[in-house]
Structure 1
Amino acid sequence: MKILIQSAHIIDRGSSHNGTVRDILIENGVITAIGDGLHAEGAVVVRHEGLCVSPGWVDIFSHFNDPGYEFKETLETGAAAAAAGGYTDVFVLPNTKPVVDSKTQVEYIRRGSGALPVTVWPIGAMTRGLEGKDLAEMYDMRNSGAVAFSDGTSPVQSAGLLLKGLQYVKAFGGTVIQIPDDTTVGAGGLMNEGVVSTRLGLPGKPMMAEELMVAGDIKLVRYTESKIQLYRSNLSAQSGVYPSGEGVGSGRELFGDALSSFFADADLVNYDTNLKVYPPLRDKSSVELLRKAVAGGLVDCIASHHLPHEFDSKVLEFEYAKKGMIGLETAYPVLRTVLPSLSSEAIVDLLSYRPRSLFGLEQPRIHEGHPSVLTLFNPGDRRGRKKRVRGRSRRTVLSSERRYRGKW
């Protein structure tokens, strides 16, 4: 199959075509020509005013619920959502049934995603059964294709066990992903603890639960000289960890998510269960600080935090609704909406270069003879139109900006 992308602005600092507007011809998944005025008989032509092309985007924190919870999401539907949002690669959480804590489960995901429009990378569980008691066989999972290790939405609580895990993965260059959350602090919290939770009469979860774990986890990483990715939903002015840059540096990178840069706890005034997420949405000042951290380069990459649920898990009383929201399809437009001054080059850094570098993935290039692992997007398109290139060059996906209008 042939695909001809016309008049696209190339954003790839590793390519000799970086910063130029060129036509790109793709044949059977490989870039065969880059130039001006290219023609190819029988090719699918992609042309759009203001079109940009970059190396494929990577999401490092999504939940496809497969196996075990396919009524929420499957590998197929998750991959379709990722492709619609412009992603070519997605890391999926191990919080499935059975848990992805062995090479067998890693291989199941790798085999099941072979024909999908995006590459699905399994995150292996750090502890057996996500129980937080004994380490899983991370070395075997790494050899079978696990890209990183995490207990996902059940973060490791034991400092001693996390210490052992960090020492274990250091031996083979692995990386741990951790949601810093002390589950004993505000254990019954349904949202951020603050003025809004008091007004709504809902039990709150204080930001301190995150801050305590961030400080402790960073000390463990310094001690082991291993690597960890700390997920932060929001930042607080009182927590010196992020604003001072203490958390930035070799072995202790930081990532946030697009969802938490848009919403705040004040958006829960109508008890909207769509906005019941984990970690909970924080206050407005924290949201603003997160935006400044992203703009200032203190955040290494942005995740969609895609945690889908079926109808029955969301349409019920707030107390009983499950935590989570979809995000793959809207991460880019949300990022463009909340940080309109952020350049396309900076966005490509957050969504492509940095995650690939942090997790040791091969960096695709926009150059003749290279595979067409590409994302096409339009930074100025407000009409919400989306396209998708199908065919054997299946990892070429497109995304355009769409401002948030209503619920996700």
Structure 2
Amino acid sequence: MTLLIQQAYITDPSSPFHESRQDILIESGIIKDIQSRIDVKAGQVIAGEGLNVSPGWVDVFAQFADPGYEYKETLETGAAAAAAGGYTDVLVIPNTKPVIDNKIQAEYITQKSKSLPVNVYPIGAVSKGTEGKDLAEMYDMRASGAIAFSDGLHPIQSAGLLMKALQYVKAFDGVIIQIPDDKSVGANGLMHEGIISTQLGLPGKPMMAEELLVARDIKLARYTDSKLHFTGVTSPRSLEYIRRAKEAGLAVTCSVTPYHLFFTDADLQEYDTNLKVYPPLRTAHEVGKLKNAILDGTIDCIATHHMPHEYDSKVLEFEYAKYGMTGLETAYAVLKTAMPDVPERKWVELLSTNPRKIFGLEPVSLQKGARACITVYEPAGKTTVEEKGFLSRSKNSAFIGKTLNGKVRGVINGEKISVSR
């Protein structure tokens, strides 16, 4: 199969063709040639005004719900959603049934991934059953393809257990991922604790719950000299702690979700259950601080926190609705709309370069002879989010009905091509 991408603007600091418009010829999943003009008869041609390409994007925290909750999502529908959103690689959390806490479950993900249009990597559980009591078989899971370790939606509450886990993964240069949340603080909170929660009559969860765990876990990372990644960071004080940890030379990194850069707690005035997310949406002040942290480099990468839910889990009273929204298919357009002045090279750094470094994925570069791992998109395009357009099995998105900046055309992952015309 021969594929020709015509007149695409390349954003890839590692490529000699960075920030230039080129034709790219791909044969059997390998980049055969890159020139200003290539005159060949290709089996498939990708073209379009304002076309951009970059190394394939990586999502570091998504729920594909398979096995056990296939009515929400399957590996196949999740992978299709990821490809449509521009992702060639996705790290999936272990909160399945059964939990990904042993090598058999890790191998289930890695083996099924071989037939999918994107690379799906399991995040192995830190504790058995993600119960926060006993360490899981992390070494075996690592050998079976687990790319990182986390209890996913159940952040580790025990300092002693997390310390052991950080010491354990250090032997193979592993990374622990935490949603920073001390569950004993504001345990019944349904949204950010503040003026809006009071007005709406909903119990709030204070930012202190996040800040306490960030401060504690940084101390544990310092003690163990191991790698720790915080995802879903929302507090300015948490960002300050992380900034200081980096300045001290600790291997601490963090990610933020697109929807935390777009929505605020004020958007919950209509009790939209699609905006019931974990961690909760914060105020406009905190959102501004998150955006500043994107620009100054404190935030290392973007995590979609793709959480698909079937109709019955979202269309009910706010108190009983499940947390989370789908995110893979809208991530880039949400980022472009929330922060339209950020240059493309910064988004490529956050979506591809940094997550590959943090989680030890093979570097990707757009140059002759390299394997094709490419995201195709149009920064100047528009995305109108419609329920019927979702490839994810679930449609729980607060962006339905909105027109956003930027448009993703799809991905090329070796010989697997998932690009819209």
Matched residue, 1:89 = 89
Could you tell me how far apart the structure 1 residues matched to 2:148 and 2:76 are? 21
CA contact (8 A) 2:375 2:412 kept: no
Matched residue, 1:402 = none
1:395 Cα deviation from its structure 2 partner: 5.6
Root-mean-square deviation (CA, aligned residues, Å) is: 1.7
1:120 Cα deviation from its structure 2 partner: 0.2
List aligned pairs for 1:89-238, cutoff 5 A.
89-236=89-236
Could you tell me how far apart the structure 2 residues matched to 1:345 and 1:370 are? 20
CA contact (8 A) 1:306 1:328 kept: yes
1:244 Cα deviation from its structure 2 partner: 7.7
Could you tell me how far apart the structure 1 residues matched to 2:85 and 2:98 are? 28
CA contact (8 A) 1:261 1:291 kept: yes
Matching residue's letter, 2:240: Y
SS of equivalent residue, structure 2 residue 416: coil
1:245 Cα deviation from its structure 2 partner: 1.8
CA contact (8 A) 1:26 1:32 kept: yes
Matching residue's letter, 1:246: R
Q: 1:183-213 CA deviation, whole Å, 9 max, x = no partner?
A: 0101111111111111111111110000000
1:257 Cα deviation from its structure 2 partner: 1.0
1:299 Cα deviation from its structure 2 partner: 0.3
Change (3 A) 1:116 1:333: same
Matched residue, 2:243 = 245
Matched residue, 2:29 = 29
Could you tell me how far apart the structure 2 residues matched to 1:123 and 1:359 are? 11
Could you tell me how far apart the structure 2 residues matched to 1:391 and 1:330 are? 20
Matched residue, 1:349 = 349
CA contact (8 A) 2:5 2:47 kept: yes
1:342 Cα deviation from its structure 2 partner: 0.8
Matched residue, 2:328 = 328
Could you tell me how far apart the structure 1 residues matched to 2:373 and 2:11 are? 13
SS of equivalent residue, structure 2 residue 198: helix
Q: 1:139-184 CA deviation, whole Å, 9 max, x = no partner?
A: 1100110000000000100001000000000011000000110001
Q: 1:48-68 CA deviation, whole Å, 9 max, x = no partner?
A: 111111110000000000000
Change (3 A) 1:395 1:166: farther
List aligned pairs for 1:73-88, cutoff 5 A.
73-88=73-88
TM-score, length of structure 2 as denominator length: 0.91
SS of equivalent residue, structure 1 residue 362: coil
Matched residue, 2:310 = 310
- Give identity over the alignment, percent: 56
SS of equivalent residue, structure 1 residue 246: helix
Q: How many residues align?
A: 397
Could you tell me how far apart the structure 2 residues matched to 1:44 and 1:389 are? 14
Could you tell me how far apart the structure 2 residues matched to 1:54 and 1:176 are? 28
Matched residue, 1:394 = 416
SS of equivalent residue, structure 1 residue 39: coil
Could you tell me how far apart the structure 2 residues matched to 1:250 and 1:142 are? 23
Could you tell me how far apart the structure 2 residues matched to 1:378 and 1:395 are? 17
Greater CA deviation, 78-87 or 38-47?
38-47
1:42 Cα deviation from its structure 2 partner: 4.0
Matching residue's letter, 2:341: S
List gaps (5 residues or longer) in structure 1. Answer: 400-408
1:10 Cα deviation from its structure 2 partner: 1.1
Could you tell me how far apart the structure 2 residues matched to 1:281 and 1:336 are? 19
Matched residue, 1:13 = 13
Could you tell me how far apart the structure 2 residues matched to 1:364 and 1:115 are? 21
SS of equivalent residue, structure 1 residue 387: strand
The runs of at least 4 consecutive aligned structure 1 residues that moved more than 6 Å come to 389-392
CA contact (8 A) 2:375 2:410 kept: no
CA contact (8 A) 1:273 1:314 kept: yes
CA contact (8 A) 1:110 1:145 kept: yes
Change (3 A) 1:58 1:390: closer
Matched residue, 2:256 = 256
CA contact (8 A) 2:124 2:147 kept: yes
Greater CA deviation, 12-21 or 119-128?
12-21
CA contact (8 A) 1:107 1:145 kept: yes
Could you tell me how far apart the structure 1 residues matched to 2:53 and 2:348 are? 10
CA contact (8 A) 1:94 1:151 kept: yes
1:382 Cα deviation from its structure 2 partner: 2.5
TM-score, length of structure 1 as denominator length: 0.94
Matching residue's letter, 2:340: P
Change (3 A) 1:320 1:395: same
Could you tell me how far apart the structure 1 residues matched to 2:292 and 2:409 are? 31
Change (3 A) 1:206 1:360: same
Matched residue, 2:399 = none
Matched residue, 2:400 = none
Could you tell me how far apart the structure 2 residues matched to 1:278 and 1:46 are? 38
1:88 Cα deviation from its structure 2 partner: 0.3
Could you tell me how far apart the structure 2 residues matched to 1:398 and 1:363 are? 25
CA contact (8 A) 2:95 2:152 kept: yes
